[in-house]
Amino acid sequence: MIRIDSSAGRLLVLASIFLAPEMYGAADLDARSGSRDDVQAAIDAAKDGDTVRIPAGTFVWTKAIRIGTDKDVGGKWTIVGQKHLTIQGAGIDRTIIVDEVPRHPNGIDDALFVIHTLEGKPFRLTGMTLRGGATETGWAGAVQIRGTSKRVRVDRLKFDHVQARGLHIDGEIYGVVDHCEFVIGAWLQAIWVGHSAWGGRTYGDGSWASPLALGTEKAIFIEDNIFRAEGAGSATATVDSWMGGRWVFRHNRVVNMTIGNHGTESSGRWRGCFSMEIYRNVFERPDPKHWATVGGSRSGTAVIFENTVTGPYDGFFPLDNYREWHAFPPWGACDGTGPYDLNDGVVYDEGTHAGADGAPVLTAAGKRWTPNQWVGHAIHNTRRGDSVRIVSNTADTISVVADSYPRKEGPFAWKAGDPFKIMKAKACLDGIGRGTGLLLSGDDEPAPRKWLEQAIEPLYAWKNTRNGAEAKLTSRSLLAQEEKEFFNGTLRPGYTPYPYPHPLQKE
């Protein structure tokens, strides 16, 4: 057993031992204490294959542990200083780290652990409780893992009311999160998954231009965990994802929490989640103050099967394309005019508003529309220069979806004489039931500015139950239709789940 002391003499002895690591093999290194500085010293002294052990006790950290960094080397961002390490506490509620790390406004490099990984360098974090302190820590994550390692394991951790996302994973990482407990307050997320650097690209562009890989190791696996929300409010997510995220959620227990993703919309230039596999979980909602649906999707494809749902949920797993009712930069709205969408080029009708100023409902005198014939189309107010999705119409009026996102001219409404036209798209960029397409690149003005020829990759759901009855996918979007973009009661052709438990659990 090697014990690290902060004294210069003992560190020199330790350094001499590590001059020839191939002679000694991997080592267990006991940090002198659980203080942040002593743990960082142990990590800095460790070599590939070593295990750094944090003793039992409660320790308050005000500065992040850092492993590796990404830096500009010759004009290319490169991960340097990463090691094949295991960081191991004495066990849940035995080693307790209290998060008092102050966050900067963007929060990107602030956390208890900021870990940069590299392909060929496995990493494991295990055996401790991470507890929220008094510091407001925001969204960035108590543990942040980035990079390209394909053998990352996070296990036997308890995230105890951390005031941030619990775990933030991004890059081109594969691995597993298992046997953890997430006790989360309202309006936070237990885990966030992105694959922004897939294929060496940025924004998730590489993931969206690469083949679908359901049933393979090419994902983040989240299995055998417990998720529980406490406190008033809702919108507490087990998993949220965008930036081309690919993840598997299986054999978990979820209490008063939801699950889902973001699309290519409200997150700006970042792309939506690419794929999800959600199966053999138990969802419970004993407290009706919390999220009313099990989850939902706004992007990409999924397989969702053999989940058991109990409690007063209002729904199972609704699907939607947010850009059908709001324009998000740099993509615009999916309303028949968006440059990245598949549009049909048809103006179905046009006219002017004959009702009062400020009316949320269009009145078009002299029309003879069939009731609800325009549901799912987009109505454009050409004076305002914006559009929104139609939810119903009468013979001469049109009502639209309520839009909570801010608009330049305020909530969508009409002035007398405002001109309108009715159009629609055939498919939205990265929308529900879409998969691999052409590679997109660039920052503020992504190129090419055209439909990316994305393949149809429907969502499939089967053998899910809610309070004993069959639970089905539903859609709020005309562009996500059953038997085309999604299927209920149907196994995905050719799909086989990846072996369970994940092989990394056996190492």
pTM over 0.85: yes
**Helix axis angle, 36-45 to 8-17, nearest 10°:** 30
- Candidates 82, 465, 64; CA nearest to 283 is 465
Structure tokens at 90: 């004495």
Q: What confidence score (pLDDT) does residue 137 get?
A: 67
Phi and psi of 442, rounded to 5°?
100, 165
DSSP alpha helices (H): ranges in 46-190? none
Q: What confidence score (pLDDT) does residue 23 get?
A: 32
> 269: which DSSP letter?
T
Assess contact for 184 and 193: CB atoms under 8 A: no
**To which residue do tokens 């094949």 refer?**
84
β-bridge mates for residue 176, sequence order = 153, 221
Tell me the mean pLDDT per 10 residues along the chain, length 507. 38 33 67 98 96 98 90 62 93 97 73 94 97 79 94 98 91 97 85 96 97 98 95 74 98 94 97 98 87 92 98 93 97 98 97 97 97 96 97 98 93 97 98 98 96 98 97 95 98 98 95
Q: How many CB atoms lie within 10 A of CB 12?
A: 10
Q: What confidence score (pLDDT) does residue 507 get?
A: 86
CA 276 to chain centre: 10
Helix (H) or strand (E) holding 360: none
Domain regions of the chain by residue span? 2-173, 347-423
User: How would CATH label the architecture of 347-423?
Assistant: Beta Barrel (2.40)
Helix (H) or strand (E) holding 438: none
Q: What confidence score (pLDDT) does residue 12 get?
A: 32
Distance, in Å, from the CA atom of 318 to the CA atom of 51, rounded to the nearest integer, reads 44
CA 215 to chain centre: 19
